[in-house]
Amino acid sequence: MNAPQDLQVHDVAIVGGGPVGASLAIALARAGTGVALVEASPAGALPPVFDQRNLSFAAATVNALAALGVMAHLRAPAGPIRRIHVSRAGDFGRVLLDAADYDRAWFGQVVVASDFGQALEARLAELPGIVRYRPARFVGLDGVEDGLRRLRIADAQGERVLAARLLVGADGARSAVRAALAIGSDEHDFGQTLFVARLRGERAPDGTAWERFGDHGPTALLPRGDRHYGVVHGVASGDAAAVAALDEAAWLQRLQRAIGWRAGRLLASGERSAYPIVQVLAAALVGERAVLLGNAAQSIHPLGAQGFNLGLRDALTLAELIEDGGRDDPGADALLREYAARRGPDREQTLGFSGGLARLTGNPAPLLRPLRSLGLLAASQAAPLQSMLVGGAMGFRGQVPRLCRSQGA
């Protein structure tokens, strides 16, 4: 049976216009694949995820976004991460990684999410072949017929049906696409809330990212490109309301106690935003003519700043498989099986790294203190262990997509 003449048919339909969904649309359109992008935000407005939080782009991510033409559209300079300093309150030992020791100019770059959203929007506007349904809401699925996955959306014209050879769910941790596909998920509440803000210190950032672990979560100072720091401060969820209510002076005092004086005195803070940390893992990455990417597939603890970097590698792996032989049928079973096989090792290693580190460093048990200290000492002195940490931090884990491998520094 052929598709009705009034049915809009696309090669790939992506639900979700956030960082991962927009990046995938750019990668596919750049290679000549027809793309539909179903977005909740109207034209001229960025999705809420593009706020003032600070995104740490691994080197692999910078390479790929430069190749996709996105980095050139950033309005503000990115902040290079040249050194990474890791320690824990109450434990001896620390890890200091320097990009120069690995013949690199930097390990990654810090970009403000709102600036990144504007850069993605500018690049999307340059590419033909992307049909944007916005504002539109994913309503549900109508099954698969004749090799086409039918989906229902609601927009200003009412509810209607689209069809695509492949449906991509990139609609976040509470993915409606995942639910419609009847793919279950496993959740773990870390009992933490992360506060993010822009800070000004008495000394401008010198390219060092400072990470200090405590009993109730991490505190990190990230070097932004505007001579400010981006702060990430984790607190126990039960303390979040009290921390949110602190005035600026008390907030700065709290941060100073948490991070110490490594970056000098903290002088001023911008507005704070708070994010509860709940890990959500999809039970499967693919369904019939459907795939889950980014937070829809795995929403992980932000410790180590791996979330978007992992999601982008999801998107680029899928785009690469379609470009290399899946253009005729991007939703073919064989292609989706290969996608799941390729993403498995990277996903498992990244989840193990971020989740394991969060549990170990946040556990106040006295018996763990010497083990943590020995681990920090080992990481500071063992070259193979440092190389493994550096490779993961730079995004070179698992079967790395081609666009990530070009030298960006």
**In angstroms, how far is the first alpha carbon of the chain from the final one?**
52
> According to the model, what pLDDT value does residue 114 have?
94
- Residue 145 has a pLDDT of 94
Give pLDDT, residue 166.
98
The pLDDT assigned to 216 comes to 74
Amino acid 96 reads L
Is 39:132 a contact under the CB 8 Å cutoff? yes
CB 297 within 8 A of CB 280: no
Query: How much is the pLDDT for 89?
Result: 63
Domains of the chain (ranges; CATH) run: 8-187+278-405 (3.50.50.60)
Mean pLDDT split into 10-residue runs, the chain, 409 residues = 70 97 97 95 92 90 97 95 81 73 92 96 94 96 95 94 97 97 94 92 94 82 94 93 97 94 92 91 97 95 76 96 92 97 90 59 43 40 51 78 74
pLDDT in the model for residue 389: 62
Could you write out the three-class secondary structure of the chain?
Answer: CCCCCCCEEEEEEEECCCHHHHHHHHHHHHCCCCEEEECCCCCCCCCCCCCCCEEEEEHHHHHHHHHCCCHHHCCCCCEEECEEEEEECCCCCCEEEEHHHHCCCCCEEEEEHHHHHHHHHHHHHHCCCEEEECCCEEEEEEEEECCEEEEEEEECCEEEEEEEEEEEECCCCCCHHHHHCCCCEEEEEEEEEEEEEEEEECCCCCCEEEEEEECCEEEEEEECCCCCEEEEEEEEHHHHHHHHCCCHHHHHHHHHHHHCCCCCCEEEECCCEEEEEEEEEECCCEECCEEECHHHCEECCCCCCCHHHHHHHHHHHHHHHHHHHHCCCCCCHHHHHHHHHHHHHHHHHHHHHHHHHHHHHHCCCCCHHHHHHHHHHHHHHCHHHHHHHHHHHCCCCCCCCHHHHCCCC
Looking at residue 66, its pLDDT comes to: 97
